[in-house]
Amino acid sequence: MENVFAEMRKHSAFAWENLGDIKAGRGNLGEEMPVLVYRLMQYTMLDVLSKDMGEEKANTYFRAAGYLAGTEYAKNALDLSTDLDTFVGNLQKSLAALKIGILRIEELDAQSGNMVLTVSEDLDCSGLPLTYENVCTYDEGFIAGILDTYTGKGYDVHEIDCWASGDRTCRFTAKVKTGTA
């Protein structure tokens, strides 16, 4: 019996299938939950990590977690075999259906792959009080993970406008890392 438990995956080791069968597990409450609950988890976790290791390091971890989520989301929830226009359309529909946010591509340089995109009504910050800072580091990683997985290129994604900084949509630059294919 001990060997069975030794081979079981720890809950801290991420795998898509470990997200479980939400429909079966939440037969009465369903698959959805209020954004308040998501933010309660996110911002209390960020607070604890920031106090323990500093804000910069905590944001680095949040970005890395977003990146892992984005790569896994792309591999498990999106069709990576389509052309760019179809992929973006499917991504927009998917993010809206899951109530993650409303994605728009504002600029796209087809030659370089660089882009500017917005996510409105996003989970992380839409409706937050004004703090004069960009707070969507998780989203930076999430977007980079999706773009990297679809294109096979490395992306640097940085938020340039945020609800918390006074804008009413989050705007990101997504630039292909130099030296990547």
pTM as predicted: 0.92
Q: Is residue 13 part of a domain?
A: no
Please give the average per-residue pLDDT across 114-125, as a whole number. 96
Q: Is residue 169 part of a domain?
A: yes
Range of the domain at 148: 34-176
Task: Indicate the pLDDT class of residue 6, thresholds 50, 70 and 90.
Answer: low
Q: How many domains does the chain have?
A: 1
Q: Is residue 6 part of a domain?
A: no
Please give the average per-residue pLDDT across 150-162, as a whole number. 97
Residue 121's nearest CA partner among 160, 169, 89, 86 is 169
Q: Is residue 87 part of a domain?
A: yes
Indicate whether 2 pLDDT > 80: no
Q: Chain-wide mean pLDDT for the chain?
A: 93
Task: Indicate the pLDDT class of residue 11, thresholds 50, 70 and 90.
Answer: confident
Q: Is residue 66 part of a domain?
A: yes
* pLDDT value of position 4: 56
Residues of the chain with pLDDT > 70, as a percent, come to: 94
CA neighbours within 13 Å on the CB side: how many for 142? 19
Q: Is residue 91 part of a domain?
A: yes
User: Domain holding 108: CATH number?
Assistant: 3.30.1380.20
Q: Is residue 16 part of a domain?
A: no
* pLDDT value of position 178: 86
115, 124 in Cβ contact below 8 A? no
Q: Is residue 40 part of a domain?
A: yes
159, 136 in Cβ contact below 8 A? yes
